[in-house]
A and B are shown apart, each in its own frame.
Chain A
Amino acid sequence: MMDFLNYSQLPFIMFSILAIQAMSLQLILGGTGLLSLGHAAFYTVGGYTSAMFTVFIAPLIGIHDTTLLLICACLIGMTGAAFTGLLVAIPCLKLRGDYLAMATLGVGEIVATVFKNLDFVGGTRGFKDIPKLGSPLLIFSIMLVVCFFIIRFYKTNLGYAVRATRDDEISARSLGINIYKTKLISFLIGSSLAGLAGVFYAHTLQFISPDEAGFYNSVVLVLAVVIGGMYSVMGSIFGAFIIVIIPEILRFIPQLINPYLIFMSEKGFLLPSLIPVIDSILSNRTLIFSVLVVIIMLLNPKGVASLFERINKMRKTNE
């Protein structure tokens, strides 16, 4: 039992962090309808700024209490990410649909390049030896708080304005909603929450690399949002869970399938020389994961939340 707890600690933390990120992206993507393909950039900026604070500045101004340090790190990480979000949003939010996606895709790559060139935070090798802060349970409860915050946010006036902007910009504008401001606020909240996730990531793994900001990580976040259902906050948590749990399960696949392969080659259905090839294919988790992603998307392109809606609808028509 202790083994299992120890083993599952890291996936559990990664799940909580990924869920915070996914929910923050859900606000931008599903809530506001802004196609952002550079969300990992904000998360990386959050991680880096808070790490810079705890490593370089905190010892200078004499903050040694871990609770205070963590609070300051969170605030600074969120501010850093929100500031980057502001820099991106002011010009880019004027772009429409696909072009916003293209510009934000660039933001991730630019942030990665900038951190690669900052030698005092480790350059290409990444930022090492960041002090350890926060516990798994704390991160998990922060995730719950973020979840309640976003759900609550959708119920406020601003939250309704955000969703009205998503559904139809022109009719929202005719109702007196300032579209640009609404989008900007939602983008800033989203990016600062992503920064919060980055703070926890940097201070649990005690390491952050510039490649975190890259395109693939942003797409993983989009995947988390879409698997769960774009318009559902809980869906994003579910998506994050799926993304963390699948690779963990895939660890056991080669051992499970190997006996069958040997059995088949003994029966003459399979050339024995193919076994190592199949083994290496099965043990490449990214490979299997990518195939699974395609299958999941093909089976359920609208996400799990739509599945529940469909079941609800069926139940209602049956009554």
Chain B
Amino acid sequence: MLDFTQAIIDGIAIGSLYALIAIGYSMVFGVLQFVNFAHGELFMLGAYFVMLFLTMGAPLWVAILFSLLSVGTIAVVIERIAYKPLRKHSRLAPLITAVAMSLFLQNIIQVLFSPNSLSFPINIPGNIVTLGELFVRIRDIGIFSLTLLLAFLLELFLFKTKAGTGIRALAMHADASKLCGVPFNRTVSLTFFIGAVLAVIAGTIQGMATNQIFPLMGVNAGLKAFAAAVLGGIGEIRGAVLGGLVLGISESMLVSYGLSTYKDGFAFVILILVLLIRPQGILGRTQLVKV
């Protein structure tokens, strides 16, 4: 039982990172019914940009702010160039360009920086406190609460502001929302921007926690976060957060039972199992298909 609780605590931090990335997948899917497979790369780009600005001498918050803006812009530009012209064609065309963009971003970073891992200039120390017989990293609590805070702010934005309502309207019914005057392209861009912002924050946290970044760090994180988004019910913010945490915790349980080499495939085993029982994901809503 102690191991079990300890595994939950250990999995919360990585689960929070999955959750932050998963929100981006989920929002884009909600609006466009399209999986942005280049999203994992925004996580990687975020970490690299923060590092770049830090080495240029900017203080941490300025570096993060600039990184948010630049990666957000990159995400919007990618959408405009590679996905928008293909929206009316088959579902597979934008999927292929998304994967091509992700290869492009990985390789351009390899060329401009280095194919090897670089050390991140700032790190958060992993101080441990003991609660009874459990070991808790203070850092993990911080990451978890930051994730919850960001998810809460996002929900607030989606439900209380005009632009947020536009995103929800678009997700509900694209044509009807256009009729009501929701600016389609601007709203889609905003969705991509928000997703990128959360991915950059996750990337920065990852860089600061593990103290190293590498060009392919977005591949695994991206695929697992995608699994998390589907697991929780793609299209739902709360689902993405829940899916991320479930995935992170179950991975850490697998590790605590000594099966760490199976970690990478396990996310997808859970994904398939959940899809078989609840095809729409844990918190997803069923969509009726009409003839």
**A216 within 8 A of partner (CB):** yes
CB distance B107 to A290 under 8 Å?
yes
Listed by A's residue number, 18 A-B pairs whose Cβ atoms lie within 8 Å are A98-B35, A98-B91, A102-B230, A106-B271, A109-B264, A112-B265, A215-B223, A219-B96, A223-B96, A277-B111, A287-B103, A287-B107, A289-B103, A291-B104, A293-B100, A297-B86, A297-B100, A298-B82
Interface string of A214-250 (1 = CB under 8 A from B): 0110010011001000100000000000000000000
**B160 within 8 A of partner (CB):** no
**A301 within 8 A of partner (CB):** yes
**A116 within 8 A of partner (CB):** yes
CB distance B262 to A117 under 8 Å?
yes
CB distance B103 to A114 under 8 Å?
no
**A113 within 8 A of partner (CB):** yes
Stretch among A74-82, A149-157, A265-273, A278-286 lining the B interface: A278-286
Q: Which residues of B contact A17 (CB under 8 A)?
A: none
Tell me the complex Cα distance, A286–B111, Å. Answer: 11
**B261 within 8 A of partner (CB):** yes
CB distance B275 to A102 under 8 Å?
yes
CB distance B108 to A301 under 8 Å?
no
Interface residues of A (CB under 8 A from B): 29, 35, 91-92, 94-96, 98-99, 101-103, 105-107, 109-114, 116-117, 170, 215-216, 219, 222-223, 226, 230, 277, 280-281, 284, 286-287, 289-291, 293-294, 297-298, 301-302
CB distance B103 to A290 under 8 Å?
yes
Tell me the complex Cα distance, A103–B280, Å. Answer: 12
State the Cβ distance, B243 to closest chain A Cβ, in Å. Answer: 12
CB distance B269 to A110 under 8 Å?
yes
Q: Which residues of B contact A293 (CB under 8 A)?
A: 96-97, 100
Known: A222-B95, A226-B93, A297-B93. A106 touches B268 (CB 8 A): yes
Interface residues of B (CB under 8 A from A): 33, 35, 37, 81-82, 85-86, 89-93, 95-97, 99-101, 103-104, 107-108, 110-112, 223, 226-227, 230, 234, 261-262, 264-269, 271-272, 275-276, 279-280, 289, 291
Q: A92-B275, A291-B104, A298-B97 are in contact. List 10 more A-B contacts (CB 8 A).
A: A96-B289, A98-B33, A106-B268, A110-B265, A110-B272, A112-B264, A222-B92, A286-B107, A287-B111, A293-B100
Tell me the complex Cα distance, A117–B101, Å. Answer: 31
State the Cβ distance, A135 to closest chain B Cβ, in Å. Answer: 33
Q: Which residues of B contact A102 (CB under 8 A)?
A: 35, 226-227, 230, 234, 271, 275
State the Cβ distance, B291 to closest chain A Cβ, in Å. Answer: 6
CB distance A103 to B272 under 8 Å?
yes
CB distance B100 to A290 under 8 Å?
yes
State the Cβ distance, A278 to closest chain B Cβ, in Å. Answer: 10
Q: Can you name the residue of chain B whose Cβ is closest to the Cβ of A302?
A: B89
CB distance B279 to A96 under 8 Å?
yes
CB distance A91 to B96 under 8 Å?
no
Q: Which residues of B contact A287 (CB under 8 A)?
A: 103-104, 107-108, 111
CB distance B261 to A294 under 8 Å?
no
Tell me the complex Cα distance, A215–B216, Å. Answer: 14
Tell me the complex Cα distance, A57–B151, Å. Answer: 55
CB distance A301 to B89 under 8 Å?
yes
CB distance B111 to A281 under 8 Å?
yes
Tell me the complex Cα distance, A124–B34, Å. Answer: 32
Q: Can you name the residue of chain A whose Cβ is closest to the Cβ of B86?
A: A301
Tell me the complex Cα distance, A99–B91, Å. Answer: 13
Interface majority SS on A: helix, strand, loop or mixed?
A: helix
Partner of A99, one of B223, B262, B266, B279: B279
Tell me the complex Cα distance, A223–B268, Å. Answer: 23
Known: A226-B93, A298-B86. A105 touches B268 (CB 8 A): yes
CB distance B291 to A170 under 8 Å?
yes
Tell me the complex Cα distance, A216–B102, Å. Answer: 10
CB distance B96 to A302 under 8 Å?
no
CB distance B103 to A216 under 8 Å?
yes
Tell me the complex Cα distance, A290–B261, Å. Answer: 31
Q: Which residues of A contact B90 (CB under 8 A)?
A: 226, 230, 301-302
Partner of A290, one of B33, B101, B227, B289: B101
CB distance A281 to B108 under 8 Å?
yes
Tell me the complex Cα distance, A277–B86, Å. Answer: 31
State the Cβ distance, A218 to closest chain B Cβ, in Å. Answer: 10
State the Cβ distance, A287 to closest chain B Cβ, in Å. Answer: 4
Tell me the complex Cα distance, A114–B37, Å. Answer: 24
Tell me the complex Cα distance, A114–B261, Å. Answer: 9
Which of A29, A95, A113, A170 counts the most B-chain CB atoms under 10 A from its CB?
A113
CB distance B93 to A110 under 8 Å?
no
State the Cβ distance, B60 to closest chain A Cβ, in Å. Answer: 28
Q: Which residues of A contact B93 (CB under 8 A)?
A: 226, 297, 301
Q: Which residues of A contact B230 (CB under 8 A)?
A: 99, 102
Partner of A294, one of B91, B100, B267, B276: B100
CB distance A284 to B289 under 8 Å?
no
CB distance B99 to A216 under 8 Å?
yes
State the Cβ distance, A182 to closest chain B Cβ, in Å. Answer: 19
Tell me the complex Cα distance, A100–B162, Å. Answer: 35
CB distance A226 to B271 under 8 Å?
no
CB distance B111 to A92 under 8 Å?
no
Q: Can you name the residue of chain A whose Cβ is closest to the Cβ of B94?
A: A297
Q: Which residues of B contact A302 (CB under 8 A)?
A: 89-90
Known: A216-B103, A297-B86. A95 touches B223 (CB 8 A): no
CB distance A294 to B101 under 8 Å?
yes
Tell me the complex Cα distance, A148–B110, Å. Answer: 43
